[in-house]
Amino acid sequence: MKKRFEKRGDGLVRELENFLVALVNVRWEKGDSRAEDDAEEVLRMYKNYFPLEFVAVSDEHLAKRAREEQVVEKRYGVIASQITRQDIRSETLQKVWILTKRLRRVWNEQNPRSRDWFIFKVRDFYHGGGVDAPQLNLFEQAMEQLQKHAARARICLNRDCPAPYYLSPDFRLRTFCSPICAGPAKREAKRTWWSHHRSAAAKRNKRPRQK
């Protein structure tokens, strides 16, 4: 059975691509009870790809958020809410889902220039905007790898595929991510061929054999 988030192969390039595939396949749809588990799994498996401020739930972070809430209360007269660790964790999961949604636009886009723009929007959100060039961390390396090989981004046509967004090993057009996912379509094609050619095959079988 194909796993959703599976690390395959060795080397940094393979790891970068594994990260991209894991992130783009996070389920984020509203009402999907598995969405939080997916986001948590990516954060756990690829914790080195997310900076401390992206996932921080420290006492210092809580104090900082509390001060921000107090500023809002004084400035706008809005009653500040009590920020908890769970609130910050929920915000972190929301950020993962936004990254996933933006990354899927890369997979769904065929125009190279538009793909580059969508990759930039993923990076921009990850870094929280800003004007300075970011450091070349693992996330940035993954984005550079995607920018070089975005034409390999494919979507598996098997509706039951647990991880339909994938990177093809080459630039050839592929409709399925693996032989496992291609299996049902191949079997259906064989059944269709047989149903259309059954009568002809039966006639051939009824012909008397020449002695």
99 pLDDT exceeds 70?
yes
155 touches 108 (CB < 8 A): yes
- pLDDT bin (cut points 50, 70, 90) of residue 173 is confident
Where exactly are the structural domains of the chain? 12-172
Our measurement of the distance from residue 200's CA atom to the centroid of its chain's CA atoms, rounded to an integer in Å, reads: 47
Angle at 67 between CA 66 and CA 73, to 5 degrees: 90
Residue ranges with strand state E in 87-202: 153-155, 165-167
26 touches 53 (CB < 8 A): no
- pLDDT bin (cut points 50, 70, 90) of residue 83 is low
- 1 against 2, higher pLDDT: 2
**Lowest-pLDDT range of 56-65, 92-101, 154-163:** 56-65
Size of the chain in residues: 211
**Residue 20 carries which DSSP code?**
H
Residue type at position 71? V
Neighbour tally for 197: CB within 10 Å: 11
147 pLDDT exceeds 60?
yes
**Closest listed residue to residue 25, CA positions, set 17, 1, 137, 113:** 17
**Lowest-pLDDT range of 48-52, 70-74, 90-94, 120-124:** 70-74
- 187 against 189, higher pLDDT: 187
- 7 against 45, higher pLDDT: 45
61 touches 206 (CB < 8 A): no
- Residue-level pLDDT at 175: 84
d(CA 123, CA 166): 19
pLDDT single digits (tens) 107-124: 999 999 999 999 999 999
d(CA 200, CA 164): 38
**Closest listed residue to residue 25, CA positions, set 91, 99, 122, 126:** 99
